């Protein structure tokens, strides 16, 4: 596991500046309106795919991690992705033929919608191939190949920004799709041959029965959650248009970049949970991972939130200045999303999908209500906060999900709820209070304050989370000074 985590950390560390440059350029070459459309279309396409995925990718990963030589399962799931893609493509075509496309995609053209979906389908396929590589302890190769793809994209966008200053959304999608196609072709034909002649050989119904048994408790949840997620972004588009969508989308991209390293270790933890089963090792790994991820993510979130003005100016420029208050809320969402991914990984690996499903269904309904209330209004009741309101609604939803799932897991592990609660509150306190104090002393947000906050974070890490500090120090030495 340590070898894979080192590979993830090294690749992600190298990927961070590349992604930062890409997301510095994208808002500038697209402008507020087209960037908002880009974010809206991608979110809808990804949610349509997640509806068909229905938790089966995690089910695949859990089983395949235990037996990485089960290549027929890889072919089976590849066929499943192809079939899902074809079904959604048919749905998109029917939507435009029967003229109800405006209900989902507003006034966007068929070409743009089609390209956005193909882009999303490629991302989903790359994620699947990466999971297969991770299960075969080939994390190093897959991560660095993806890094090379990001460098190519960054180079192309830099040239466009320097010489052309802007680009049409259609051509941006063409660039993304072309590069992803090269990456899929290379990854899928090197160490593990995804394009074998055995790809379309159907051998029994064993895998269908397994995935159905695994994901059927999640079926209702995924239907409701997918509709809810699509509704949230559609509602923001309806009341705020491309500009509000752009402010929310840029904030999401920024926090994703800042928390990328932390999120990258979740698939590896899922694999380890699957291998360990019901053991003391699993319990210790979960408790340790939860507290460490909480401290690191809440500290990063606090730094982002308290410096939202400066960060938005750097990434989006003056035209995106209204995204600053959105980032203040959205900055904290990844903290709880990462913890929810960790909780979900443990529950999935133990086959406890029913509990996850029930919590998800209730909170999906809560998200609809909170989105309408905070983002817009219904019958004159609501806050009309636009992108800020959507950011707050998602933050509230993720906090509730984290609390409920964590309580369920602690009870299932037979751990002390009072001791774990104390650890959580202590971690939240040391992860936020010193950084907020620095913000209070330095009223203006600038690079000096960020440096002071980061230095404060390192001091707290060294003296209050010494074990984590030592692990990170040894990890950095192992990654960069081998």
The SS3 assignment for 380 reads coil
Residue 195, both tokens: 């394009």
Question: According to the model, what pLDDT value does residue 176 have?
Answer: 95
Residue 52, both tokens: 């068909």
Asked if 61 and 272 touch (Cβ cutoff 8 Å), the reply is no
Q: Label residue 166 left, alpha or beta by phi (over 0 means left) and psi (-120 to 50 means alpha).
A: beta
Question: According to the model, what pLDDT value does residue 269 have?
Answer: 66
Asked if 436 and 306 touch (Cβ cutoff 8 Å), the reply is yes
CA–CA separation, 276 and 350 (whole Å): 10
Write down how long the chain is. 482
Cα dist from 471 to 262, 331, 374, 423, 479, whole Å: 14, 26, 41, 19, 12
Question: According to the model, what pLDDT value does residue 75 have?
Answer: 85
Q: Among residues 332, 319, 335, 328, which one has the least CA distance to residue 445? A: 328
Rounded to the nearest angstrom, the gap between the alpha carbon of residue 463 and the centroid of all alpha carbons in its chain is 31
Question: According to the model, what pLDDT value does residue 281 have?
Answer: 56
CA–CA separation, 20 and 222 (whole Å): 32
Asked if 252 and 329 touch (Cβ cutoff 8 Å), the reply is no
Question: According to the model, what pLDDT value does residue 301 have?
Answer: 92
Which residues, including other chains, have CB under 8 Å from residue 444's CB and lie 6 or more apart? none
For every one of its 482 residues, what pLDDT tens digit does the chain have, with 9 covering 90 and above? 555 555 556 666 777 888 889 988 999 999 999 999 999 999 999 888 887 777 788 778 777 877 777 888 888 888 888 999 999 999 999 999 999 988 889 889 999 999 999 999 999 999 888 888 877 777 777 778 888 888 999 999 999 988 887 889 999 999 999 999 999 988 887 777 777 776 777 766 788 888 888 777 777 888 888 889 889 999 999 998 999 999 999 999 898 887 777 776 666 666 666 555 555 556 777 888 888 889 989 999 999 999 999 999 999 888 899 999 999 999 999 889 889 888 887 877 766 777 788 888 999 999 999 999 999 887 778 889 999 999 999 999 999 999 999 998 888 877 788 888 999 999 999 999 999 998 888 766 677 888 889 899 889 988 888 777 676 666 555 544 44
Rounded to the nearest angstrom, the gap between the alpha carbon of residue 58 and the centroid of all alpha carbons in its chain is 14
Rounded to two decimals, what is the model's pTM? 0.83
CA–CA separation, 230 and 99 (whole Å): 19
CA–CA separation, 480 and 46 (whole Å): 35
CA–CA separation, 327 and 5 (whole Å): 29
Question: According to the model, what pLDDT value does residue 442 have?
Answer: 74
Asked if 9 and 140 touch (Cβ cutoff 8 Å), the reply is no
Helix count and strand count (H, E) for the chain: 20, 0
Residue 84, both tokens: 């899902």
Residue 380, both tokens: 């004159």
Q: Among residues 112, 82, 85, 74, which one has the least CA distance to residue 96? A: 112
Residue 162, both tokens: 């320097």
Question: According to the model, what pLDDT value does residue 443 have?
Answer: 67
Asked if 401 and 363 touch (Cβ cutoff 8 Å), the reply is yes
Question: According to the model, what pLDDT value does residue 275 have?
Answer: 59
CA–CA separation, 230 and 40 (whole Å): 9
Asked if 27 and 169 touch (Cβ cutoff 8 Å), the reply is no
CA–CA separation, 156 and 343 (whole Å): 38
């Amino acid at each position: 596991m340590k070898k894979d985590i080192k590979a993830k950390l090294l690749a992600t560390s190298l990927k961070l500046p590349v992604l930062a440059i890409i997301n510095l350029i994208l808002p500038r070459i697209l402008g507020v309106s087209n960037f908002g459309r880009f974010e809206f279309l991608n979110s809808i396409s990804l949610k349509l795919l997640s509806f068909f995925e229905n938790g089966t990718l995690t089910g695949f990963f859990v089983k395949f991690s235990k037996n990485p030589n089960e290549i027929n399962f890889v072919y089976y799931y590849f066929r499943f992705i192809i079939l899902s893609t074809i079904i959604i493509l048919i749905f998109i075509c029917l939507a435009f033929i029967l003229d109800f496309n405006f209900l989902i995609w507003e006034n966007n053209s068929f070409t743009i919608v089609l390209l956005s979906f193909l882009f999303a389908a490629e991302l989903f396929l790359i994620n699947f191939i990466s999971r297969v590589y991770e299960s075969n302890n080939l994390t190093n190769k897959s991560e660095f190949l993806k890094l090379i793809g990001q460098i190519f994209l960054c180079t192309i966008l830099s040239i466009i920004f320097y010489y052309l200053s802007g680009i049409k959304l259609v051509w941006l999608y063409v660039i993304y799709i072309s590069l992803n196609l090269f990456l899929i072709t290379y990854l899928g034909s090197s160490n593990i041959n995804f394009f074998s002649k055995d790809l379309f050989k159907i051998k029994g119904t064993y895998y269908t029965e397994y995935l159905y048994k695994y994901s059927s408790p999640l079926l209702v949840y995924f239907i409701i959650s997918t509709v809810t997620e699509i509704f949230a972004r559609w509602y923001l588009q309806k009341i705020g248009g491309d500009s509000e969508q752009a402010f929310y989308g840029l904030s999401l991209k920024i926090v994703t970049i800042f928390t990328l390293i932390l999120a990258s270790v979740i698939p590896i933890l899922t694999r380890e949970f699957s291998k360990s089963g019901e053991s003391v090792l699993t319990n210790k790994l979960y408790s340790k991972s939860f507290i460490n991820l909480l401290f690191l993510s809440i500290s990063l979130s606090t730094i982002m939130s308290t410096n939202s003005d400066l960060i938005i100016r750097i990434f989006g420029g003056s035209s995106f200045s209204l995204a600053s208050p959105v980032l203040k809320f959205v900055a904290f969402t990844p903290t709880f999303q990462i913890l929810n991914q960790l909780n979900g990984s443990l529950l999935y690996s133990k086959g406890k999908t029913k509990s996850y499903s029930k919590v998800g269904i209730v909170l999906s309904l809560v998200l609809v209500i909170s989105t309408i209330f905070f983002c817009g209004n219904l019958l004159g009741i609501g806050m009309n906060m636009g992108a800020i309101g959507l950011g707050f609604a998602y933050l509230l939803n993720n906090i509730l999900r984290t609390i409920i799932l964590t309580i369920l897991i602690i009870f299932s592990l037979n751990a002390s709820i009072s001791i774990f609660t104390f650890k959580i509150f202590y971690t939240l306190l040391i992860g936020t209070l010193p950084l907020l104090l620095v913000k209070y002393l330095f009223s203006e947000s600038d690079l000096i304050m960020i440096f002071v906050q980061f230095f404060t974070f390192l001091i707290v890490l060294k003296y209050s989370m010494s074990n984590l500090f030592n692990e990170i120090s040894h990890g950095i030495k192992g990654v960069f000074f081998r």
